[in-house]
Amino acid sequence: MNLDQESLVHGVIRTVTSDDRLESMNFRQINRNAILSLGTMDDFPYLTMEMFHLPGTQELQGTYLTPMIQFAASYRAVEYEWGQWLEKFESLLACMYWRSATVWLETELSGQHVFSWESQGQYHQPGDRILQVRCEWEHELGFV
């Protein structure tokens, strides 16, 4: 039996399309480059490109209206370093085009937390400095 505390982090970034095909391709490429720039190695709490599933390079491949970038990882008790993880994630978001992002943090000791970011305008674009996060906490208590 493993006594370590496992934390699961997963989520989705809802990205942006445009009526202009070239602009949509540009949005997609900038987002891909931002994630690929994370690399394969990082200090704990890590945020690496392997955590992410990127949409294909073709316009709207795997997409109806909203291109989505999913991500997931498991950690050993990441909640104790959660502020650092959020800083890394928000630095990534600052370099991307997106409408919203949601992160679920599932911990063994303190339940599930849902963190949400919504763009202030029609969408967030690289260089926008205003990122506002909202957190909801879900915790089930069991009695023996």
Say if residue 116's pLDDT is above 60: yes
**Strands of 133-138's sheet, edge to edge?**
52-53, 68-76, 6-14, 100-107, 111-118, 133-138
pTM reported for the whole predicted model: 0.88
Q: How far is CA 135 from the centre of its chain?
A: 14
Say if residue 61's pLDDT is above 90: no
pLDDT at 38: 96
Say if residue 15's pLDDT is above 80: yes
pLDDT at 1: 46
pLDDT, average across residues 52-70? 77
pLDDT at 87: 94
Q: Select the more confidently predicted residue: 47 or 137.
A: 47
What confidence category does residue 137 fall into, taking pLDDT thresholds of 50, 70 and 90? confident
Domain ranges of the chain: 6-138
Burial of 85 from C-beta contacts in 10 A (0-12 / 13-18 / 19+): buried
pLDDT at 140: 59
Q: Select the more confidently predicted residue: 1 or 93.
A: 93
pLDDT tens digit sequence for 75-105: 999 999 999 999 999 999 999 999 999 999 9
Residue 74 β-bridge partners: 8
